[in-house]
Amino acid sequence: DPCKPNPCKNVGQCSAFTSGFVCTCTSGYTGKTCETVVDPCVPNPCKNGAICTSTASGVTCACPGGFTGHRCDQDVNECWINSPCLNGGTCINTYGSFTCQCRPGYLGNNCQTGE
pLDDT per position as a tens digit, 24-44: 999 889 999 999 988 889 899
The correct CATH number of 39-75 out of 2.10.25.10, 3.40.50.300, 3.65.10.10, 3.90.550.10 is: 2.10.25.10
Give the per-residue pLDDT at 61.
Answer: 97
In angstroms, the CA 70 to CA 65 distance is 14
- Between these two residues, 49 and 81, which has the higher pLDDT value? 49
Mean pLDDT of 14-32: 93
Residue positions counted in the chain: 115
Q: Please state the CATH superfamily assignment of the domain spanning residues 77-114 in this structure.
A: Laminin (2.10.25.10)
Percentage above 90 pLDDT, the chain: 83
The residues near 103 (Cβ < 8 Å, ≥ 6 apart) are 87, 88, 89, 111
**pTM of full prediction above 0.75:** no
Which among 102, 34, 82 is positioned nearest to 111, based on CA atoms? 102
**What 8-state DSSP symbol labels residue 13?**
E
Give yes or no for residue 94 having a pLDDT over 90.
yes
The correct CATH number of 1-38 out of 2.10.25.10, 3.40.50.720, 3.40.50.1370, 1.10.1060.10 is: 2.10.25.10
pLDDT per position as a tens digit, 62-88: 999 999 999 999 999 999 988 899 999
Give the per-residue pLDDT at 56.
Answer: 79
